[in-house]
Structure formats: structure tokens, C-alpha cells
Amino acid sequence: MADVAEKTDASKEEVDAKVKADEPPADSAGDAKEESEGNADAKQENGTPSNLEQKIIRQIEYYFGDYNLPKDKFLQEEIKKDDGWVSLDTMLNFQRLKNLTTDKDVITGALLKSTAKLMEVSEDGSKLRRNPEKPLPELSDARKQEIISRSVYIKGFPKENTTLDMLLEFLKDFGKTDNVQMRNYHDKVEDKWKFKGSIFATFPSKEEAEAFIKLESVKHGDEELIRKWQADYLEEKKIEMKEGKRGKEKRKQNLKEAAGDDKDAEKNGDDKKDEEKEEKVEHVLGAVLVLKGLKETTKWTSIKDRLVELGGDVAFVDFSPGDPEAYARLKAAGSAKDVFAKMEGGKVEIDGTEVEARVLEGEEEVKYLDDQHEARKNLRSQFKRKGSQRGRGRGRGRGAKRGRF
């Protein structure tokens, strides 16, 4: 079973080194073709899975697999309700599976042909669950390191028009992979995520990963692929970041010395630039959701995670623990309505409680964003004043309070 995480960033890789697996957009045109051409043979009587069935098996075993299930909060909640069983109606809310087929008989028929035997199908064919005889391993730090120890960094794929299915089809020639993570970056100019041309591929064992690395040559088309251990790649990036930071600080110091090290003038100039930058701020409109009716024990992470499940790219959650109301600001203009549209009757369940939601609009939205901007501006000013005091050798003094942010 293999799947892909569409959104990653360098800092996350360096700090966490954790293979992230988000729900990626499927190649719907190609998958739709597979369904129309494959449904007939998907129900074949023999035990050999068709091409479509193989994709169904791979996708569902990914959802319930060792990589995704431990961190999939939605599925974790679902499997608690009915002794691990999850209805096919619920599973068909997962877009990638839905793009493969909506025929429940095809799905159950495919799972019955899986050699991994990871999944069970209920007698009436309406539900499925992970096989109780294959318990989920604990996602400990040791487990994470074990996963990284059999993961490979591969670079050299086309940056344009490369899809999940293309990568999986290519890697099939080199054996089985447990997980594939496409590495992406955010293009700020176009405001969208783009493929870097590199992936992390996790093999079933370290020996299989090593065999792939030791191959004399691996090409994608005419391009020779760069291959190295994921752990080595992450260590190299850490060193690059440290050296880059030291070089930047050195260049900054050289410029200061060349300018006579006029700290007061430099500080005043920086303050002026900050003020000019503040004056030019433009709000991202149509990106704020108001949530009411939260229970006292709800954490901001629960709010963020639920909105992410609905497709929201969350920038900030304005919320104090214990408050019944929260404001969630998304990154993209107009995206609040898209997330709201996925809620039934303007309501969403968070931590087992039904919460009312609405999109902040008009003057109310502008006022809220202005207030938030002013609060951030004041907070930065406070930090500048504290930094200036420390620079004069005064320190915080006894009894001084720390700011919490």
C-alpha cells in the first residue's frame, strides 16, 4: 500500500523528519476511465485483482495502514463507534476512493482478493474494518526512526504534470513501497503548491530500500535519478541551514561595520520600514470563519484539524481555551465559503459537540481584521521595547512577567 502526501515543506522535514500523508487530489480523469473500463472485469470470479481492484486495495489499505491511521483523527473517531467497523457510505466521502469507484460491490470484491488480509468486510457487505488480528503498532519515536531507516530520497522527476499514479507505476518496477510522499513547495507568486521533482519512498524493509539505492543506474525517461537515504538527506539539509544562517549573519555584520555600526540610526531606520510596511497591509478577505458553541475542553488544535479535514488551509485560530467562540482565519481569499459549503446546515462537529459556523463578511470582517492587525502591531512594539532594554543591560529584573504567545 502506498500513497502520497501532497504538501510538505523543508522546515517540517528538518525538524520532524516525519512522513506526512495528506489526502491528495486524485487524477480523476484517468481514474474515471479505469472505472468505466474496469468495472466489468472488477467483478471477475477468479482471485486475481483487476487493475482497478489493485488501486482500490492500495487506497483502502493505505487509509487503514500503519502510516495513515495513527494520525487520521476522523477515522480514529469512526472506528471507536462500532467495534472498528466503518460503513462504506462513510468511506465514499474520501475523494480519492470515490474517484476510483462508487460501486460498493466492486470495493468489497476487491478487498476480498487482497493478499495482505489487512481488511475485513462485514457479512452484509456494508462495512469494513482493519483486521483485529493485525493491531496497529504504536507510533513512538522509535517507530518513526524505524520508518525513516527504510525510506529513500529520490530526485529527478518532472516538476510539471507528475501525478501520484505516474510515480506509483514507475516504482512498481523496483518492488513494493509502503508509502510515497511527493515533496512540494508553496509558490507565493502564484499562491499554489508545486511539485519539487523529488519524493520520499518508504520500502517494506531496510534491505529492500538498500537494494534500490545500490542499483547502478535508475532513470526516469532520460533523467538519471538521485538516490540517497532519507536520513542522510535530512542531515545534509540541517547542515546547509546552519551554514546558511551563519553566512547571512556574517554578511549582515560586515555591512554594519562598513556603515560605521550606527546602531541607533539602523534601529530607527528599521522602525520606519516596519511602520511603512504596516501602512501598506492588505487584508485577505472572505477567509474568516466564526465558530460558536465550543465546549470548555476544546483545544485550538481540534478546531484547526477539523477545518483541515474540510479542506481548509488554516493560517491562524483566534481562540482562548474555555471560550465558546473562536475565529479561524484561512490563507486563501474567499476560501471560507468553500469550507462552509461542506458543513451540513452551517454546523460542524468538533470534539463531539455540534458547533454553529458562519462566514465573517462585510464591515464586520474588515473591523475584525483591523483589530487583529493592530493587536499584532502592538505586540511587536512591546517586544522591540523589551529588546532595547536588554540591549542597555537592564534585563527584566526580579518579578517581571513573561509575555505568553
Q: What is the pLDDT of residue 77?
A: 92
- The 10s digit of each residue's pLDDT in 50-81 is 999 999 999 999 899 888 888 888 999 999 99
In DSSP notation, 157-221 reads: --SSS--HHHHHHHHGGG---SEEEEEEEEETTTTEEEEEEEEEEE-SSHHHHHHHHT-S--EET
Burial code of 102-112, b = ≥16 C-beta within 10 A, e = fewer?
ebbebbbbbbb
Domains, the chain, ordered by start: 15-130 (1.10.10.10), 141-233 (3.30.70.330), 288-366 (3.30.70.330)
**Most confident of the following: 7-11, 222-226, 243-247, 363-367:** 222-226
Q: What is the pLDDT of residue 128?
A: 96
Statement: residue 364 has pLDDT above 80: yes
Q: Taking the model in full, what pTM does it have? A: 0.50
Task: Quickly count: other Cβ atoms within 10 Å of residue 162's Cβ.
Answer: 16
Q: Which of 208, 199, 159, 155 is nearest to 181 (CA)?
A: 199
Rounded alpha-carbon distances, angstroms, from residue 22 to 95, 215, 286, 345, 397: 12, 30, 25, 26, 47
Q: Where are the alpha helices (DSSP H) in 280-323?
A: 300-309
Q: Within 13 Å and on the Cβ side, how many CA atoms surround 122?
A: 14
Could you tell me what percent of the chain has a pLDDT over 90? 41
- The 10s digit of each residue's pLDDT in 236-294 is 888 888 777 666 676 666 666 655 554 544 445 555 455 544 455 678 899 999 999 99
Q: What is the pLDDT of residue 105?
A: 95
293: cell is 458553541
* Top-confidence residue, 109 or 261: 109
Q: What is the pLDDT of residue 191?
A: 86
Q: What is the pLDDT of residue 64?
A: 94
